[in-house]
């Protein structure tokens, strides 16, 4: 089973850069999208059902902002839109599809880099999302949480870690929080389990020559329950074409949904 996570930094922008030409070649079973930056009315038929995939979307109320989506080869048994928390759901940050005992989630955790106010909103999200992560972990379901978590966990996860110790995305509180997700709640970081020593950058700043010099951050993850995490066979980051400031993260699981 192939699952892809891709922050598109605008679904219409990514479409113009060839994302929907590339996607059918991947033969993915599930594709999780973040940062749609579109309303439902902005989505073309080609964006809704690419490659005969089923498409589901949780758009933000604010135009040109946030939003998540999921494509699936098989029609899900259930689709859950949002967390049931009004201010979070207004920003379109959580979408889940269920197939039997398996759930796949597209998650877009807030960024705090634009202002102190947004950092506080990010902390608030993290605080309220943690009990949900605990509940999911105890649900008895196998779960893959795909998406842009906007946090680099360890020094290996970003090139210039020393220069970012006081910056959003690598703050001590953020790193401790995602560490608890792994160490206390038992979630598995699929990439890091497969490749303990490979940086695995998925995002590059548009400033300077970050992409060309590979001065990146690993902030996009497949975070899984232990069962399906152990079934992760291989993972890759697609950089041959640039659809966004993020690169798609592709993981193949020895799993049948």
Q: What is the pLDDT of residues 200-230, one digit of tens each?
A: 999 999 988 999 999 999 999 999 999 999 9
Catalytic residue chosen out of the listed positions 21, 40, 45, 148: 148
Measured CA distances, 217 to 24, 148, 232, 243 (Å): 27, 11, 22, 17
pLDDT at 208: 83
Residues 6+ apart with CB under 8 A from 72: 29, 30, 31, 53, 54, 56, 97, 99, 104
The SS3 call for residue 211 is: coil
148 is catalytic: yes
- Domains of the chain (ranges plus CATH)? 2-253 (3.60.10.10)
Q: What is the pTM of this model?
A: 0.97
pLDDT at 257: 72
pLDDT at 192: 98
- Identify the segments of the chain with pLDDT beneath 50: none
Residues 138 and 135: their CA atoms lie apart, in Å, by 5
pLDDT at 203: 98
DSSP annotation of 100: T
């Amino acid at each position: 089973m192939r699952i892809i996570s891709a922050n598109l930094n605008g679904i219409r922008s990514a479409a113009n850069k060839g994302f929907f030409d590339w996607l059918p070649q991947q033969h993915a079973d599930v594709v999780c999208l973040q940062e749609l930056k579109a309303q439902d009315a902005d989505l073309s038929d080609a964006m809704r059902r690419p490659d005969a995939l089923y498409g589901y979307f949780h758009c933000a109320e604010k135009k040109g902002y946030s939003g998540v989506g999921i494509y699936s080869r098989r029609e899900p048994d259930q689709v859950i839109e949002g967390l049931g928390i009004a201010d979070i759901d207004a920003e379109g940050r959580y979408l889940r599809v269920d197939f039997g005992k398996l759930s796949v989630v597209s998650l877009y955790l807030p960024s705090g880099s634009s202002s102190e106010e947004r950092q506080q909103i990010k902390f608030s999200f993290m605080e309220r999302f943690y009990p949900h992560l605990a509940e999911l972990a105890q649900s008895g379901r196998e779960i893959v949480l795909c998406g842009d978590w906007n946090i680099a966990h360890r020094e290996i996860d970003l090139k210039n870690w020393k220069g970012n110790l006081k910056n959003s995305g690598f703050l001590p509180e953020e790193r401790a929080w995602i560490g608890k997700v792994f160490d206390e709640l038992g979630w598995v970081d699929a990439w890091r389990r497969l490749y303990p020593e490979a940086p695995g950058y998925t995002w590059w700043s548009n400033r300077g020559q970050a992409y060309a010099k590979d001065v990146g951050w690993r902030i996009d993850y497949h975070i899984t329950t232990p069962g399906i995490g152990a079934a992760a066979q291989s993972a890759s980051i697609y950089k041959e074409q640039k659809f966004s400031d993020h690169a798609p993260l592709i993981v193949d699981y020895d799993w049948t949904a």
